[in-house]
Structure 1
Amino acid sequence: MLIAIWAQDQNGLIGKEEKLPWHLPNDLNFFRKTTEGHTVVMGRTTFEGMGKRLLPKRQTIILTRNQEYHVPGAQVMHTVSEVLDYAKSSDTTTFITGGANVYQQFIPYCDQLYRTVIEGEFTGDRHFPEIDWSPFEKVASRQGDVDEKNVYPHVFETFQRKG
Protein backbone atom coordinates (compact mmCIF):
# COMPACT_ATOMS: atom_id res chain seq x y z
CA MET A 1 0.00 0.00 0.00
CA LEU A 2 1.19 3.50 -0.86
CA ILE A 3 0.13 6.41 1.37
CA ALA A 4 1.13 10.09 1.28
CA ILE A 5 1.38 11.82 4.66
CA TRP A 6 1.94 15.54 5.25
CA ALA A 7 1.03 18.60 7.29
CA GLN A 8 0.11 21.94 5.77
CA ASP A 9 -1.25 25.28 6.81
CA GLN A 10 -4.63 26.47 5.54
CA ASN A 11 -2.96 27.82 2.38
CA GLY A 12 -1.10 24.61 1.52
CA LEU A 13 2.28 25.69 2.90
CA ILE A 14 4.42 22.69 3.87
CA GLY A 15 7.94 24.03 4.34
CA LYS A 16 10.29 26.87 5.10
CA GLU A 17 13.96 26.51 4.20
CA GLU A 18 13.65 22.70 4.14
CA LYS A 19 12.01 22.57 7.60
CA LEU A 20 8.48 22.72 9.01
CA PRO A 21 7.29 26.33 9.53
CA TRP A 22 5.60 25.39 12.86
CA HIS A 23 6.13 23.24 15.91
CA LEU A 24 3.18 20.93 16.54
CA PRO A 25 4.01 17.92 18.74
CA ASN A 26 0.58 16.31 18.10
CA ASP A 27 1.35 16.09 14.39
CA LEU A 28 4.90 14.86 14.92
CA ASN A 29 3.53 12.16 17.24
CA PHE A 30 0.86 11.20 14.68
CA PHE A 31 3.54 10.94 11.99
CA ARG A 32 5.78 8.81 14.21
CA LYS A 33 3.02 6.43 15.35
CA THR A 34 1.63 6.08 11.82
CA THR A 35 4.93 5.43 10.04
CA GLU A 36 6.89 3.36 12.60
CA GLY A 37 7.50 -0.17 11.36
CA HIS A 38 6.97 0.89 7.76
CA THR A 39 8.93 2.49 4.91
CA VAL A 40 9.23 6.25 4.38
CA VAL A 41 10.15 7.75 1.02
CA MET A 42 11.55 11.26 0.78
CA GLY A 43 13.53 13.35 -1.61
CA ARG A 44 17.19 14.08 -1.01
CA THR A 45 16.50 17.73 -0.15
CA THR A 46 13.93 16.74 2.48
CA PHE A 47 16.35 14.19 3.96
CA GLU A 48 19.15 16.74 4.13
CA GLY A 49 16.76 19.33 5.61
CA MET A 50 16.15 16.88 8.48
CA GLY A 51 19.85 16.98 9.28
CA LYS A 52 20.60 13.81 7.27
CA ARG A 53 19.27 11.64 10.07
CA LEU A 54 17.39 8.42 9.57
CA LEU A 55 14.08 8.10 11.39
CA PRO A 56 14.18 5.29 13.96
CA LYS A 57 12.11 2.14 13.50
CA ARG A 58 11.51 2.87 9.79
CA GLN A 59 13.09 1.79 6.54
CA THR A 60 14.12 4.93 4.62
CA ILE A 61 14.20 5.37 0.86
CA ILE A 62 15.81 8.54 -0.45
CA LEU A 63 14.81 9.51 -3.97
CA THR A 64 17.42 11.42 -5.95
CA ARG A 65 18.65 11.78 -9.52
CA ASN A 66 22.25 11.78 -8.23
CA GLN A 67 23.59 8.34 -9.11
CA GLU A 68 26.54 8.80 -6.72
CA TYR A 69 24.42 9.60 -3.65
CA HIS A 70 24.81 7.11 -0.80
CA VAL A 71 23.50 7.09 2.78
CA PRO A 72 24.50 4.27 5.13
CA GLY A 73 21.39 2.59 6.52
CA ALA A 74 19.06 3.91 3.81
CA GLN A 75 18.12 2.74 0.34
CA VAL A 76 18.74 5.27 -2.41
CA MET A 77 16.51 5.05 -5.47
CA HIS A 78 16.51 7.14 -8.62
CA THR A 79 13.11 6.68 -10.28
CA VAL A 80 9.44 6.61 -9.41
CA SER A 81 9.16 3.13 -10.91
CA GLU A 82 11.88 1.79 -8.57
CA VAL A 83 9.90 3.02 -5.57
CA LEU A 84 6.61 1.68 -6.96
CA ASP A 85 8.19 -1.75 -7.55
CA TYR A 86 9.51 -1.72 -3.99
CA ALA A 87 6.07 -0.75 -2.59
CA LYS A 88 4.33 -3.53 -4.54
CA SER A 89 6.70 -6.18 -3.21
CA SER A 90 6.94 -4.89 0.38
CA ASP A 91 5.13 -6.47 3.31
CA THR A 92 4.79 -3.06 4.95
CA THR A 93 3.12 0.19 3.96
CA THR A 94 5.20 2.69 2.01
CA PHE A 95 4.66 6.31 3.09
CA ILE A 96 5.47 9.23 0.80
CA THR A 97 6.80 11.97 3.10
CA GLY A 98 7.95 14.81 0.85
CA GLY A 99 8.96 17.20 -0.45
CA ALA A 100 6.60 18.89 -2.85
CA ASN A 101 8.08 17.37 -6.02
CA VAL A 102 8.01 13.88 -4.53
CA TYR A 103 4.34 14.32 -3.54
CA GLN A 104 3.56 15.53 -7.06
CA GLN A 105 5.12 12.42 -8.58
CA PHE A 106 3.49 9.86 -6.26
CA ILE A 107 -0.03 11.12 -5.46
CA PRO A 108 -1.43 9.52 -8.65
CA TYR A 109 -0.34 6.12 -7.28
CA CYS A 110 -1.43 6.55 -3.65
CA ASP A 111 -4.22 4.48 -2.11
CA GLN A 112 -4.68 6.86 0.83
CA LEU A 113 -3.72 10.38 1.87
CA TYR A 114 -3.14 11.49 5.48
CA ARG A 115 -3.24 15.26 5.76
CA THR A 116 -2.92 17.42 8.85
CA VAL A 117 -4.32 20.90 8.25
CA ILE A 118 -3.04 23.54 10.65
CA GLU A 119 -5.58 26.33 10.97
CA GLY A 120 -3.34 29.31 10.48
CA GLU A 121 -1.14 31.09 7.98
CA PHE A 122 2.62 30.74 8.14
CA THR A 123 5.47 32.00 5.98
CA GLY A 124 7.61 29.67 3.94
CA ASP A 125 8.81 28.65 0.52
CA ARG A 126 7.26 25.24 -0.20
CA HIS A 127 3.62 24.47 -0.88
CA PHE A 128 1.85 21.18 -1.37
CA PRO A 129 1.43 20.71 -5.13
CA GLU A 130 -1.83 21.14 -6.97
CA ILE A 131 -3.34 17.67 -7.31
CA ASP A 132 -6.48 16.10 -8.71
CA TRP A 133 -8.63 15.39 -5.64
CA SER A 134 -11.45 13.79 -7.65
CA PRO A 135 -10.15 10.19 -7.26
CA PHE A 136 -10.25 10.55 -3.45
CA GLU A 137 -12.95 10.88 -0.82
CA LYS A 138 -12.53 12.06 2.75
CA VAL A 139 -13.25 9.11 5.05
CA ALA A 140 -12.15 10.55 8.41
CA SER A 141 -11.60 13.90 10.07
CA ARG A 142 -10.54 14.44 13.67
CA GLN A 143 -9.86 17.70 15.48
CA GLY A 144 -6.47 17.69 17.21
CA ASP A 145 -6.13 18.72 20.84
CA VAL A 146 -4.94 22.26 21.48
CA ASP A 147 -2.92 22.82 24.66
CA GLU A 148 0.18 24.66 25.90
CA LYS A 149 2.45 22.51 23.67
CA ASN A 150 0.10 22.39 20.66
CA VAL A 151 -0.98 25.99 20.30
CA TYR A 152 -2.32 25.80 16.73
CA PRO A 153 -5.77 24.36 16.02
CA HIS A 154 -5.38 21.44 13.61
CA VAL A 155 -7.37 18.67 11.94
CA PHE A 156 -6.22 15.17 10.98
CA GLU A 157 -7.84 14.06 7.71
CA THR A 158 -7.81 10.74 5.89
CA PHE A 159 -8.68 10.36 2.22
CA GLN A 160 -9.26 7.04 0.46
CA ARG A 161 -9.01 6.38 -3.27
CA LYS A 162 -12.54 5.80 -4.61
CA GLY A 163 -13.50 2.40 -5.99
Structure 2
Amino acid sequence: MGVYTMIAAVADNNAIGKDNDLLWRLPDDFKRFKALTTGHKIIMGRKTFESFPKPLPNRFHIVITRDREYKIEHPECQVVHSLEEALEVTASEPVTYIIGGGEIYKMGMPYADSLEITRVHGEFEADAFFPEIDPEDWTLQAEVFHPADDRHDYSFTYRTFTRKRS
Protein backbone atom coordinates (compact mmCIF):
# COMPACT_ATOMS: atom_id res chain seq x y z
CA MET A 1 0.00 0.00 0.00
CA GLY A 2 1.22 3.45 -0.89
CA VAL A 3 1.54 6.71 0.96
CA TYR A 4 -1.28 9.27 0.99
CA THR A 5 -0.22 12.88 1.29
CA MET A 6 -2.68 15.71 1.74
CA ILE A 7 -1.40 18.94 0.20
CA ALA A 8 -3.01 22.31 0.85
CA ALA A 9 -2.43 26.02 1.31
CA VAL A 10 -4.13 26.90 4.59
CA ALA A 11 -4.60 30.28 6.30
CA ASP A 12 -3.94 30.79 10.00
CA ASN A 13 -7.72 30.36 10.58
CA ASN A 14 -7.69 27.12 8.45
CA ALA A 15 -9.42 28.88 5.52
CA ILE A 16 -8.65 27.33 2.13
CA GLY A 17 -11.21 28.78 -0.28
CA LYS A 18 -14.32 30.79 -1.00
CA ASP A 19 -16.82 30.45 -3.85
CA ASN A 20 -14.79 27.54 -5.28
CA ASP A 21 -11.66 29.68 -5.66
CA LEU A 22 -8.40 30.21 -3.85
CA LEU A 23 -8.06 33.12 -1.43
CA TRP A 24 -4.57 34.18 -2.59
CA ARG A 25 -2.08 33.83 -5.42
CA LEU A 26 1.31 32.55 -4.29
CA PRO A 27 3.44 31.70 -7.36
CA ASP A 28 6.17 29.90 -5.38
CA ASP A 29 3.54 27.74 -3.68
CA PHE A 30 2.05 26.85 -7.10
CA LYS A 31 5.55 25.80 -8.23
CA ARG A 32 5.98 23.64 -5.13
CA PHE A 33 2.54 22.05 -5.64
CA LYS A 34 3.44 21.27 -9.26
CA ALA A 35 6.87 19.87 -8.31
CA LEU A 36 5.42 17.59 -5.63
CA THR A 37 2.35 16.31 -7.49
CA THR A 38 3.65 15.95 -11.08
CA GLY A 39 3.79 12.32 -12.14
CA HIS A 40 1.39 11.18 -9.41
CA LYS A 41 -2.29 10.42 -9.05
CA ILE A 42 -4.24 13.22 -7.38
CA ILE A 43 -7.56 12.76 -5.56
CA MET A 44 -10.03 15.65 -5.42
CA GLY A 45 -13.67 16.51 -5.17
CA ARG A 46 -15.74 17.50 -8.18
CA LYS A 47 -15.84 21.21 -7.25
CA THR A 48 -12.05 21.33 -6.96
CA PHE A 49 -11.74 19.64 -10.35
CA GLU A 50 -14.20 22.10 -11.89
CA SER A 51 -12.20 25.04 -10.52
CA PHE A 52 -9.34 24.14 -12.94
CA PRO A 53 -9.50 25.54 -16.48
CA LYS A 54 -8.43 22.05 -17.69
CA PRO A 55 -6.90 18.94 -16.11
CA LEU A 56 -3.46 19.58 -14.63
CA PRO A 57 -0.71 18.27 -16.90
CA ASN A 58 1.28 15.13 -16.05
CA ARG A 59 -1.04 14.03 -13.24
CA PHE A 60 -3.84 11.47 -13.21
CA HIS A 61 -7.01 12.97 -11.68
CA ILE A 62 -9.38 10.91 -9.55
CA VAL A 63 -12.52 12.97 -9.08
CA ILE A 64 -14.99 12.13 -6.31
CA THR A 65 -18.66 12.97 -6.81
CA ARG A 66 -21.95 11.61 -5.49
CA ASP A 67 -23.48 12.28 -8.95
CA ARG A 68 -23.69 8.89 -10.65
CA GLU A 69 -24.26 10.58 -14.04
CA TYR A 70 -21.12 12.77 -13.84
CA LYS A 71 -18.64 12.08 -16.65
CA ILE A 72 -15.24 13.47 -17.62
CA GLU A 73 -14.11 12.68 -21.14
CA HIS A 74 -10.36 12.94 -20.62
CA PRO A 75 -7.76 10.14 -20.62
CA GLU A 76 -6.06 11.51 -17.46
CA CYS A 77 -9.26 11.53 -15.38
CA GLN A 78 -11.40 8.96 -13.61
CA VAL A 79 -14.67 9.58 -11.78
CA VAL A 80 -15.36 7.69 -8.54
CA HIS A 81 -18.20 7.98 -6.06
CA SER A 82 -16.49 7.77 -2.67
CA LEU A 83 -13.13 8.40 -1.03
CA GLU A 84 -12.88 4.67 -0.34
CA GLU A 85 -13.23 3.97 -4.07
CA ALA A 86 -10.53 6.57 -4.80
CA LEU A 87 -8.24 4.86 -2.28
CA GLU A 88 -8.87 1.46 -3.93
CA VAL A 89 -7.96 2.92 -7.35
CA THR A 90 -4.67 4.28 -5.96
CA ALA A 91 -3.74 1.45 -3.57
CA SER A 92 -0.79 0.26 -5.68
CA GLU A 93 0.67 3.77 -6.17
CA PRO A 94 3.83 4.63 -4.20
CA VAL A 95 2.49 8.14 -3.44
CA THR A 96 -0.94 9.67 -4.03
CA TYR A 97 -1.85 13.27 -3.27
CA ILE A 98 -5.20 14.35 -1.85
CA ILE A 99 -5.65 17.92 -3.08
CA GLY A 100 -9.04 19.03 -1.74
CA GLY A 101 -11.39 20.62 -1.21
CA GLY A 102 -12.59 21.03 2.33
CA GLU A 103 -14.91 18.01 2.49
CA ILE A 104 -12.35 15.73 0.84
CA TYR A 105 -9.65 16.87 3.29
CA LYS A 106 -12.00 16.16 6.19
CA MET A 107 -12.77 12.66 4.87
CA GLY A 108 -9.12 12.04 3.95
CA MET A 109 -7.51 13.03 7.25
CA PRO A 110 -7.80 9.52 8.82
CA TYR A 111 -6.12 7.98 5.74
CA ALA A 112 -3.29 10.50 5.31
CA ASP A 113 0.27 9.44 6.09
CA SER A 114 1.74 12.90 5.62
CA LEU A 115 0.69 16.51 5.16
CA GLU A 116 2.31 19.13 2.94
CA ILE A 117 0.85 22.36 4.29
CA THR A 118 1.59 25.86 3.13
CA ARG A 119 0.53 27.93 6.14
CA VAL A 120 -0.50 31.32 4.76
CA HIS A 121 0.01 33.95 7.46
CA GLY A 122 -3.29 35.78 7.68
CA GLU A 123 -6.95 35.19 8.46
CA PHE A 124 -9.42 35.09 5.60
CA GLU A 125 -13.16 34.95 5.08
CA ALA A 126 -13.92 31.56 3.54
CA ASP A 127 -16.50 28.87 2.98
CA ALA A 128 -14.02 25.97 2.81
CA PHE A 129 -11.62 25.01 5.58
CA PHE A 130 -8.84 22.53 6.26
CA PRO A 131 -9.40 20.27 9.30
CA GLU A 132 -7.44 20.92 12.50
CA ILE A 133 -4.00 19.27 12.57
CA ASP A 134 -3.95 17.49 15.92
CA PRO A 135 -0.43 17.58 17.44
CA GLU A 136 -1.24 14.27 19.15
CA ASP A 137 -1.43 12.65 15.69
CA TRP A 138 1.20 14.56 13.68
CA THR A 139 4.92 15.35 13.93
CA LEU A 140 6.28 18.47 12.24
CA GLN A 141 9.24 17.25 10.15
CA ALA A 142 10.28 20.38 8.27
CA GLU A 143 9.45 24.05 8.16
CA VAL A 144 10.58 26.74 5.68
CA PHE A 145 9.46 30.37 5.95
CA HIS A 146 8.83 32.49 2.82
CA PRO A 147 8.40 36.25 3.38
CA ALA A 148 5.90 38.39 1.52
CA ASP A 149 7.55 40.08 -1.46
CA ASP A 150 6.70 41.77 -4.76
CA ARG A 151 5.18 38.49 -6.10
CA HIS A 152 3.56 37.27 -2.86
CA ASP A 153 1.07 39.44 -0.95
CA TYR A 154 1.35 37.24 2.15
CA SER A 155 4.17 35.53 3.99
CA PHE A 156 3.83 31.77 4.33
CA THR A 157 5.57 28.73 5.76
CA TYR A 158 5.92 25.33 4.12
CA ARG A 159 5.29 22.68 6.77
CA THR A 160 5.72 18.93 6.32
CA PHE A 161 4.04 16.63 8.85
CA THR A 162 4.14 12.87 9.26
CA ARG A 163 1.60 10.82 11.14
CA LYS A 164 2.68 9.50 14.54
CA ARG A 165 2.31 5.72 14.69
CA SER A 166 1.24 4.07 17.92
Q: Normalized against structure 1, the TM-score is what? A: 0.92
Instruction: String of CA shifts for 1:69-109, please: whole Å, max 9, x gaps.
Output: 1112210011222111122222x421000011101111101
**Residue aligned with 1:140, SS:** strand
Q: CA deviation at 1:120?
A: 1.3
Match of 1:40 among 42, 54, 69: 42
CA distance in 2, matches of 1:108, 1:146: 33
Hey, what does 2:82 align to over in structure 1?
Answer: 79
Assess if the C-alpha contact under 8 Å between 2:14 and 2:132 holds in 1.
Answer: no
The aligned residue for residue 56 of structure 1 is: 57
Say whether 1:156 aligns with 2:133.
no
2 CA distance for matches of 1:85 and 1:50? 24
Q: Is the 8 A contact 2:9 2:120 kept in 1?
A: yes
Q: Is the 8 A contact 2:147 2:154 kept in 1?
A: no
| CA-CA distance at 1:154 after TM superposition | 0.4
Contact residue 101 and residue 129 of structure 1 kept, 8 A: no
Q: Unaligned regions of 5+ residues in structure 2, if any?
A: none
Indicate how the Cα distance of structure 1 residues 70 and 59 shifts in structure 2: closer, same or farther if over 3 A, else same: same
Residue equivalent to 2:102:
100
Equivalent in the alignment of 1:2: 4
What is the distance in 1 between the residues matched to 2:89 and 2:138? 23
After superposition, the CA RMSD in angstroms is 1.4
Greater shift, 81-90 or 16-25, is seen at 81-90
24, 43, 46: which one pairs with 1:22? 24
Alignment of 1:135-150 (within 5 A): 135-150=137-152
How many angstroms apart in 2 are the aligned matches of 1:160 and 1:43? 23
SS of the residue corresponding to residue 89 of structure 1 reads: coil
Aligned-partner Cα distance in 2 for 1:130–1:111: 15
In structure 1, distance between residues paired with 2:164 and 2:134: 13
Task: Quote the Cα distance in structure 1 between the aligned partners of 2:80 and 2:163.
Answer: 26
How far off is 1:57 after superposition? 0.7
Tell me the percent identity: 38
Give the length in aligned residue pairs: 161
Distance 2:105 2:126 in 1: 17
The Cα of 1:134 is off from its aligned counterpart by 2.1
Given that 1:19 and 1:50 are in contact with CA atoms closer than 8 Å, whether structure 2 keeps it comes out as: no
Matched with 2:92 is: 89
